[in-house]
């Protein structure tokens, strides 16, 4: 798929300033990428015979957004109100389609832009979660944040004093 | 030995259109060789057409439940065991999300728990499974 294919599938992207930031890969998917794992696919859909793909132990299963929220909660994220850049925190945006099923996750970069793995296609860097609103991904339904590594280290240092 | 259609991609790795595949017969020895081979050619071309449609339509989907419920993917599962050699062949070239289909068709899953989600390891496990059962992959 080319940039024009992406533009056609995601009309808001075509109007924004985005960049393709990786080659295509089937090795990982959007949930894995949002969790900074490029070694495997994350999905809870049951196989007729297990095992299926990776899904954190203890996380909820299913298509409801609650399942996806539980995955990021297990990574130390907590719900937050909006997508703006907050010093000392990293954020994710979780998407839900018209059927109410989770579809996608995007991760905020330290510069305030967002990064998304586009299915089996490339990773992209985009300006805002809304850039990916369409009939495939639906829209960003909620946001979650956790302290950045830098902030965690600072807090640990402070606790030692 | 049964006649078996072999798919050969005339271009390099990765996805290709149906016109880029050459179908040839291997095996033989059966009195119905040419009939079996023709049937197999039809199966091969049907697989290529359906798999291309599925890959194209689901390129931007990450979510497995959406991908495997695509009508083309379901039709490939509906081909039953006839689809296995073509799925394994495709898996060797390009490890797409064929694992769900393979478990649905065969009722087996040779993937180790530690390999869950690691598509290259999952593909290797299925290719070994195929070789052990006489599929030429």
Q: Which two tokens stand for residue A100?
A: 């109410």
Which residues of B are less than 8 Å from A102 in CB distance? 63
Q: What ranges do the domains of chain A cover?
A: 3-160
pLDDT at B16: 47
Q: What's the complex ipTM?
A: 0.90
Does the beta-carbon distance from B63 to A45 stay under 8 Å? yes
B90 inside domain? yes
Residue B95 and residue B122 in contact, taking contact as beta carbons nearer than 8 Å = yes
Query: A40–B62: do the CB atoms touch at under 8 Å?
Result: no
Contact B63 A117 (CB under 8 A): no
Would you say residue B3 has pLDDT above 50?
no
Q: What is the pLDDT of residue B20?
A: 60
Spatial neighbors of B7 by CB under 8 A, at least 6 apart, are B21, B22, B23, B44, B47, B48, B86, B89
Confirm whether B125 is domain-assigned.
yes
* Residue B79 counted as domain residue: yes
Residue B83 forms part of a structural domain: yes
Does A89 contact B at CB distance below 8 Å? Answer: no
| CB contact A45 to B (< 8 Å) | yes
Which residue on chain A is closest to B62 by alpha carbon? A119
SS3 B8: strand
B73 found inside a domain? yes
Is B25 within the bounds of a domain? Answer: no
pLDDT at site B1 = 37
**Distance between CA A85 and CA A69 in Å, rounded?**
20
Do A115 and A22 touch, CB atoms closer than 8 A?
A: no
Q: Among candidates B118, B131, B114, B122, which has minimal Cα distance to B98? A: B122
Taken in order B85, B86, B87, B90, is the CA torsion positive or negative? positive
Chain-chain contact of A119 with B55 (C-beta, under 8 angstroms): no
Helix, strand, or coil here: B4? strand
- A69 near A144, Cβ under 8 Å? yes
Nearest alpha-carbon partner for A72 in A91, A46, A85, A53 = A91
Q: Which of residues 44-63 of B touch A (CB under 8 A)?
A: 55, 58-63
Considering only CB atoms, which chain B residues are within 8 Å of A18? none
DSSP state for residue A10 in the 8-state scheme: -
Candidates A6, A47, A67, partner chain B, best to mutate (most B CBs within 10 A): A47
Dihedral sign of CA atoms B64, B70, B76, B77 in order: positive
Its domain, for residue B111, covers 42-132
What is the number of domains present in chain B? 1
pLDDT tens by residue, chain A, 161 residues: 578 899 999 999 999 989 999 999 999 999 999 999 999 999 999 999 999 999 999 999 999 999 999 999 999 999 999 999 999 999 999 999 999 999 999 999 999 999 999 999 999 999 999 999 999 999 999 999 999 987 777 777 878 77
Listed in sequence order, the residues at least 6 apart from B133 whose beta carbon sits closer than 8 Å to its beta carbon are none
Given phi > 0 = left and psi -120 to 50 = alpha, else beta, which region is A10?
Answer: beta
Q: Which of the residue ranges A22-26, A147-151, B34-38, B93-97 would you say has the lowest mean pLDDT?
A: B34-38
The answer to whether residue B92 sits within a structural domain is yes
> CB–CB of B58 and A49 under 8 A?
no
| B54, burial (CB in 10 Å: exposed 0-12, middle 13-18, buried 19+) | buried
**Radius of gyration for chain B, computed over Cα atoms and rounded to the nearest angstrom:** 15
pTM: 0.87
Report CB contact under 8 Å: A26, B94: yes
- Which one, of B96, B103, B119, B102, lies nearest residue A49 by Cα? B103
B96 within 8 A of A120, measured Cβ to Cβ: yes
Paired with B25 in beta bridges are B5
Q: How far is B52 from chain A (nearest CA, A)?
A: 13
All residues of chain B having their beta carbon less than 8 Å from the beta carbon of residue A23 are none
Structural domain includes residue B114: yes
């Amino acid at each position: 798929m080319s940039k024009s294919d992406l533009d056609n599938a995601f009309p808001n992207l075509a109007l924004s300033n985005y960049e393709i930031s990786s080659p295509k890969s089937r090795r990982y998917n959007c949930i894995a990428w949002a969790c900074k794992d490029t070694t495997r696919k994350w999905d809870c859909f049951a196989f007729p015979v297990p095992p299926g793909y990776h899904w954190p132990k203890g996380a909820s299963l299913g298509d409801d957004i609650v399942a996806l929220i539980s995955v990021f909660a297990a990574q130390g994220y907590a719900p937050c109100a909006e997508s703006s850049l907050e010093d000392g925190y990293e954020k994710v945006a979780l998407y839900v389609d018209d059927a109410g099923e989770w579809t996608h996750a995007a991760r905020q970069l330290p510069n305030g832009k967002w990064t998304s793995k586009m299915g089996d296609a490339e990773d992209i860097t985009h300006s805002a979660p809304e850039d990916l609103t369409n009939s495939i991904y639906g829209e960003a339904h909620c946001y979650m944040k956790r302290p950045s590594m830098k902030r965690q280290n600072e807090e640990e240092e402070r606790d030692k004093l | 030995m049964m006649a078996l259609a072999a798919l050969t991609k005339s271009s390099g790795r990765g996805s290709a259109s149906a016109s880029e595949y050459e179908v040839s017969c291997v095996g033989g020895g059966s009195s119905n060789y040419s009939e079996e081979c023709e049937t197999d050619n039809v199966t091969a071309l049907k697989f290529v057409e359906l798999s291309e449609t599925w890959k194209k339509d689901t390129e931007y989907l990450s979510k497995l439940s959406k991908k495997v419920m695509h009508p083309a993917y379901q039709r490939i599962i509906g081909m039953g065991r006839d689809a296995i050699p073509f799925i394994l062949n495709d898996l060797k070239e390009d490890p797409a999300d064929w694992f769900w289909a393979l478990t649905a068709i065969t009722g087996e899953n040779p993937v180790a728990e530690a390999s869950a989600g690691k598509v290259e390891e999952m593909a290797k496990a299925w290719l070994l499974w195929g070789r052990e059962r006489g599929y030429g992959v």
